[in-house]
Amino acid sequence: MSPLFSQAQLLGLDEHHLIELPGGQRLTAATATAFLAMQQAARSAGLELAVASGHRNFGRQLQIWNGKFTGQRPLLDADSRPLDTDRLDETQKVAAILRWSALPGCSRHHWGTDLDLYAPNLLPAGARLQLEPWEYRADGYFAPLSAWLDAHMADFGFYRPYTGAASSMGDEPWHLSFIPEARQAEQLLRLESLATCLQSADIAGKACILAQLPQLWHQLTSHAQESTP
């Protein structure tokens, strides 16, 4: 049996395995089917589920990374407070970025199995979606959504891969992963493929990243093993 994903698809370099949802977000066919079923169930409970971000290719993740590394995008600490990037060396910048953003080639959003969810009908008029933990906590406006997902997401094959259990990664209650396919993606991605991809990419901090890539890879794979149900 051939692998579910190619290395190029896992790295965000090939998008042929995806389908488009209404609204333009893209997922694998199986993930999309599961999400649409969950969306319908949530609607019956008075919640409108929407995808803020589905598939994200390597180029888009690279833009996010480079923007944060160069100071064009804000870097946040564990409590979502801005960091002073001028006080950080390259190793510290890499660690700070990885708390909230994946290394290009390592993003679960490359796979089409992962999506960031919110409920537009719970977003107050005039408010801008932040995708920060406080929005989903008990006093946040997405608290009813978070509670519903706690109770029902597993019925549709989803779980949260980033719950703050790993100290190096931030809590992302909005990020859901489709277990049947994401588990396979975690097992298929190879360090050698990632290293080759990054060596040819115009990524900020490349020398620093490549020097510690085996360690970063270990953190990534260890977290995947610990967090997957």
Question: Tokens 């549709």 label which residue?
Answer: 156
Distance CA 147, CA 169 (A): 22
In this predicted model, what pLDDT tens digit does every residue of 137-163 receive, in sequence order? Answer: 999 999 999 999 999 999 999 999 988
Give CA separation, 213 vs 62, 88, 138, 218, 225, in Å. 16, 19, 37, 8, 18
DSSP-based three-state secondary structure for 26: strand
pLDDT at position 164 is 56
Over 70: is that where the pLDDT of 1 sits?
no
Over 50: is that where the pLDDT of 34 sits?
yes
Distance CA 175, CA 159 (A): 8
Model pTM? 0.91
pLDDT at position 166 is 44
Q: E-strand spans in the chain?
A: 18-20, 26-28, 50-53, 114-118, 158-159, 175-178
Over 70: is that where the pLDDT of 229 sits?
no
**What average pLDDT score do residues 78-100 get?**
90
Please give the share of the chain, as a percent, with pLDDT higher than 70: 93
Over 80: is that where the pLDDT of 222 sits?
no
Q: Which residues contact 56 (CB under 8 A, 6 or more apart)?
A: 12, 107, 109, 110
**What average pLDDT score do residues 35-60 get?**
97
Distance CA 169, CA 98 (A): 7
Over 70: is that where the pLDDT of 65 sits?
yes
Q: What is the DSSP letter of 135?
A: G
